[in-house]
Structure formats: C-alpha cells, structure tokens
Chains A and B, each alone.
Chain A
Amino acid sequence: MNSLAKPAEWEKLFWPLLAAALLLALWHYSVVWTATKVFPSPLSVEKGLVQLIQKHVLWADIGDSLRRVALGFGLAAVVGIPLGLTLGWYPALNQVVNPVIQILRPISPIAWIPVAIIFFGVGDRPAVFLIFLSAFFPILVACVSGVANVPAIFRRAGRNFGLSRTQILARVVFPAALPQILIGLRIALGVAWLVVVAAEMIAVDSGLGYLVIDSRNSGKRYDLVVAAMLVIGLIGLTLDLGFRWLEKIRSVRWGFRHES
C-alpha cells in the first residue's frame, strides 16, 4: 500500500473499529481464560453501565463532576488569563513572580488535598479549589509565553498606527497570543478532568470519582468501576474535541497551521 495515498472513507472508520474490536476481544478472552472472579468482562461492564443509567445515578454524577470542573476551570481562566497577560506584558514583574510560579507549578494537585481540606473543609469547595489549582498554572504559563512570543513586528505596527498601550494590548497582543492561550486552556481542561476524579474520591459523596471509589467500597462492584472509568474517558474525549473545534474559528486558525 502506498503510504502517500489517501485512505478511502470506509478505511478511516474500519481500521480504528477493528482495533477497538480486537482489544475488546483480548479483554474478554483474558477474563475467560484466567477465570478471574474479580475483574469484569466487557459484557458485564456493559450490563453495569445499563444498570447505572437505569438507576439514574449516572446522570447526577456526571452533572456534579462537570459542574465542579466548570467552576474550577472557569475560575482558573478568569484569574489566570488577566494575570498571565499582565505578567507577559511586564517582563520585569514576571521575573519577580516567576520563581514562585515555577516552584508551585510542578506540585501535583493531589498533594494539595490535605491543605484543601484544612482551608475549605469537606464538600464542593475543596474539590473546586483543587481543580482550580490544576487548571490555573497551564493557563497562566500559556498566557505569559503567548504574550512574550508575539512578534515585535506586530507591536511596532500597532505603535505605528497610533495605538495607545492598552489598545495595543487589546487589539494586537491579545489576538496575536490567542492561539497559544487556547492551547493552554485545552491542556488545562484536560488536567482539570483528570483531577476532578481524584478530588471526588476524598471530599465529596457524588460525582464520577465518587462513583468509582463507592462502587469498589460497597460490594467490590468492579463492573461498575470499569463502567464509570469508560464514562470518564468518553467525557474527557468529548471535552477535548469541543476545544479542538474552537481552534477552527477563523480568527485563530492561523496559529494552528503547521505550514507557514
């Protein structure tokens, strides 16, 4: 097969489906051959999923997880974007704050769990705080470097046309940095979705993370555990696809082309 040839339409769908089917088969027969009593087969996971949907807990859990992510991520964007733009715009200020950011940034949000509980007790608030932390740093860093990477030629053109500093920030620097800011937001949303599951295993009694841990604790229902995991994966994928779709908006698409 010529690797340069475009795959036919049916091939684009066929091969990934085949790969998924083979993986499911491998999973199924591994369970059958090892005769495990603990780990569920794909069929029992499917039954578990149907059960979750019928008992109506799944929708409530999905809603709770999405709400926490929306709050934490939204807060991180509201704080992180203006702060990042400011730090990128004033490199002297950035030099002062950057060491602190660089120390805090690699700390896993999971390590903040005890601190979050001291600050916010139990309930939604520590979970939202953890998601905020996890999303805040990728957004901040993307904004700072996005602004710093705006070609000098654009700023000079802005000055040449008589724009004030605030106008240059709003009409030149922000749109020029927007593609990189969007990448930062997409990474942040991915991390936030990872962290919400962990956060829900500790401080709250709802959400998909709670569903995973609760299914295990109350009667070792591993079929429900794996079903919840699959739901988490599917929603994460949907969120990411949603963000990729944003990148196709005309006024930012220039920033996502690989060819110049």
Chain B
Amino acid sequence: MVFDRDGKSIAVLEDLNLDVSDGEFICVVGPSGCGKSTLLNLMGGFLSPTRGAITIDGEAVHGPDPRRILVFQERGVFPWLTVEGNIGFGLSRLSRTERGQRIAHYVQMMRLQGFEHTYPSDLSGGMKQRLQVARALAVNPDILYLDEPFGALDSVTRHLMRGELLRIWQAERRTIIFVTHDIDEAVQLADRVVVLSSRPARIEDVLAIDIPHPRSMSAPRYLELRDQLLNKIGLAYTV
C-alpha cells in the first residue's frame, strides 16, 4: 500500500501476507504510525490496495460491506440516535418485529438494559463502545474489525471490556481482527498475534497464543508469551 502525500509517495504496507481462518481471533500490534489502521481500512474495503488484493472466501474486497463491520476507537456511535436507534441502524430492511427482537437481543448481550431510550451523550465511555459493538453485531457480520476499540477507556473498564468481548466471541464465533497498542490485551484475547514492523510495515512475526480461555494473567506460559511479544515489539521499534 502506497500513499501519495504532497507529491511524495509513502509506502505504508509492503509485502504483507496473512491468512485468517474462519472464527479466528487475530490481534495486530506494532509501533504507532506503522499502518495498523491502514491495514484494517484495506480489509474493510475503505481503501483499495495499490498492489495485491484482499480476498474473503475467495471473493475480492471492493468497498465496504455490512458483512464486515469496522468498530472505531471512539465517537463511532451516532449521537442523534438512542441506544435502540443505534443498534437498529443497519436493520432497516428487517420487519419491525424482527428488528425489535434483534435490538432486544443485543441490548441484553451488551448489558445495556434500561438504557434503550438513552442517548449516547448520557452513556459512559465503556457503554458507548459496547453500543458500537452491539450495532456492529446486530447486522450479523462475518468479520469484525476493531481499531483500538478500548484505547480511550480507563484501564479497569478496558479490562472488563476484554472479558465481554471474549464472552461474545465465544458465544457467536465471528472472525475478529483487533488492532491494539496494548501487549497484555493481545495476549489475553488473541489466537494469534501479528507483529508489524515500523513503516513500511511488514509482518515481523506471528505468535500463536496457545493458552485456553479463561487466561490467567499470572500463569507462567502467559508471562512467557508476553515477554516474547515484548521482545518482538522491541525489535520492531528499533528496526
């Protein structure tokens, strides 16, 4: 992927090959500005690659599609709609009763009961992110792209949100590609962690996290993998 800015070409992603299987939880880490978000935008169809291709189930990605939803770091929910309105945003093709059921299902799953008619400005940061995930899940996507979804939350809320996300992933088994800065987040969540190098980003390494859920943050294997990842990121930062 090459960007043209002010007449200069900037190579952001280069020679990047990654296969993701159905239902897999992938975390992408790497130095800031390396192109993690660009990668998500390419996979989401918001950008077209300069060279190469993104294929999903053998089908090339051309443009955004409700089958794969991108969740933003913050301010992704629509402030002019209530919780119900946000969750139902992508459901206008459904009948009224179906839509109501779908909304009720995700209100419950995201523990937003009692806030159905609340506007986002009256929700906490964690609730807004839960709402954004609920809005994404409601259209029944195959893939969720999460761009540092918990990056703007405080550490306790972030920790709780990871638990919620794992619970939902285990219940609904969507493919999740999750961009983060946070090493612990990656080790807690992912089946595999993809480490990107600095720009132009290549895949520095792919680390399989072979610990079953729920993962203990003090287990020896957890700490071992965490250190490995830290070392690799350290390498990536110095490259």
**Is the A/B pair a real complex?**
yes
Within 8 A of B (CB), among A151-186: 151, 153-154, 156-157, 159-162, 171-172, 175-176, 178
Cβ of A162: which chain B residues have Cβ within 8 Å of it? 64-66, 90
Which of the segments A68-76, A105-113, A249-257 contacts the partner chain?
Answer: A249-257
Whether a CB of chain A sits under 8 angstroms from the CB of B167 is no
Q: Contact: A160 with B78, CB < 8 Å?
A: no
Q: With contacts defined as CB atoms under 8 Å apart, how many contacts are there between chain A and chain B in the complex?
A: 53
Please measure, in the bound complex, the distance between the C-alpha atom of A161 and the C-alpha atom of B81, giving whole angstroms: 15
A-B contact pairs, 16 of them (CB 8 A): A151-B75, A153-B75, A154-B78, A156-B46, A157-B78, A159-B63, A160-B44, A160-B65, A161-B69, A162-B66, A172-B78, A176-B80, A178-B80, A250-B119, A254-B121, A257-B121
Please measure, in the bound complex, the distance between the C-alpha atom of A255 and the C-alpha atom of B70, giving whole angstroms: 24
Whether a CB of chain A sits under 8 angstroms from the CB of B76 is yes
Min CB distance, B197 to chain A, in Å? 27
Given contacts A251-B81, A253-B119, contact A159 B76 (CB under 8 A): no
Q: Contact: A175 with B64, CB < 8 Å?
A: no
What's the dominant secondary structure at chain B's contact region? loop
Whether a CB of chain A sits under 8 angstroms from the CB of B89 is yes
Cβ of B80: which chain A residues have Cβ within 8 Å of it? 175-176, 178, 251-252, 254
Q: Contact: A153 with B121, CB < 8 Å?
A: no
**Chain A interface: which size bin?**
20 to 34
Please tell me which one of the listed residues B69, B120, B139 contacts residue A254 in the complex, with CB atoms under 8 A apart.
B120
Please measure, in the bound complex, the distance between the C-alpha atom of A225 and the C-alpha atom of B173, giving whole angstroms: 76
Tell me the nearest residue of chain A to B70, going by C-beta.
A160
The 10 closest A-B pairs by CB, nearest first: A161-B90, A254-B79, A175-B80, A162-B66, A254-B121, A160-B64, A251-B80, A159-B64, A161-B66, A153-B72
Q: Which residues of A contact B (CB under 8 A)?
A: 151, 153-154, 156-157, 159-162, 171-172, 175-176, 178, 250-255, 257
Within 8 A of A (CB), among B80-113: 80-81, 89-90
Cβ of A157: which chain B residues have Cβ within 8 Å of it? 70, 72, 76, 78
Given contacts A160-B44, A250-B119, A253-B119, contact A153 B76 (CB under 8 A): yes
Tell me the nearest residue of chain A to B41, going by C-beta.
A156
Min CB distance, B49 to chain A, in Å? 18
Min CB distance, A251 to chain B, in Å? 5
Tell me the nearest residue of chain A to B67, going by C-beta.
A162
